Amino acid sequence: MSAQALDLAGITPGFPDAVAGAQSVFRRLMDAMARPGSVHDLSFAPPPPTGLRRAAAAVALTLFDFETPVWLDPAIRGSAVADWLRFHCACPLTEAPEEAAFAVVTDPAAAPPLSAFNPGDAKYPDRSTTLILQVEGLVGGPSVTLEGPGVKGARAFAPVGLPPGFWAQVQANHGRFQFGVDFILAADDLVAALPRTTRVTFEGN
């Protein structure tokens, strides 16, 4: 994506204390990754730009920087969200999902297949894409069962707003381990994570 002049009008503030704010979010994200499907509150984060939920914006402020190419879905590409991210994070934006360190998906139904993103390689499996998926909620949807590292026994997980076929793609992604993408699900002020190590079973969807 070619460089464009920033439109500073309307760019909302980031964390009042950038270091303390990012550290607080990072600790919760690490706990979310360590305990797949657990839900964490990021309501202390600053208001997001139009098009992002508070939790998704907080994750971006914490994880994005000038070394992390970011893919934005068409709904927010070229919008105030892109200017906000470039201003606060200085992250390069890419239109190629396979080049992205992070992908921000505000419309999961219109997203490319998971296989379009970078799964990592034999030398650098940790350089795969992490997808930040905005969903309608983290409880109340069709329930799936999570198992694997960080899950004691099994855990039910029921996010709202994921399209048909999504969980089958997640299963295929897990089958590629040690390669594959990781997921952060953001719903308003809440966040949960599904690393590629998590096994998912489901009925339907």
pLDDT in tens, 146-176: 999 999 999 999 999 999 999 999 999 999 8
Cβ atoms of 137 and 123 closer than 8 Å? no
Number of domains in the chain: 1
> Would you say residue 7 lies in a domain?
no
Q: Tell me, what CATH number does 145's domain have?
A: 3.40.50.11310
CA 144 to CA 142: how far, in whole Å?
Answer: 7
> Would you say residue 10 lies in a domain?
no
> Would you say residue 12 lies in a domain?
no
> Would you say residue 8 lies in a domain?
no
Across all residues in the chain, what is the average pLDDT?
92
> Would you say residue 203 lies in a domain?
no
Let me know how long the chain is.
205
pTM as predicted: 0.91
Q: List Cα–Cα distances, 202 to 94, 141, 145, 168, 190, in angstroms.
A: 33, 12, 6, 9, 23
Tens of pLDDT, residues 71-129: 999 999 988 899 999 999 999 999 999 999 999 999 999 999 999 999 998 888 888 99
> Would you say residue 11 lies in a domain?
no
Range of the domain at 169: 18-197
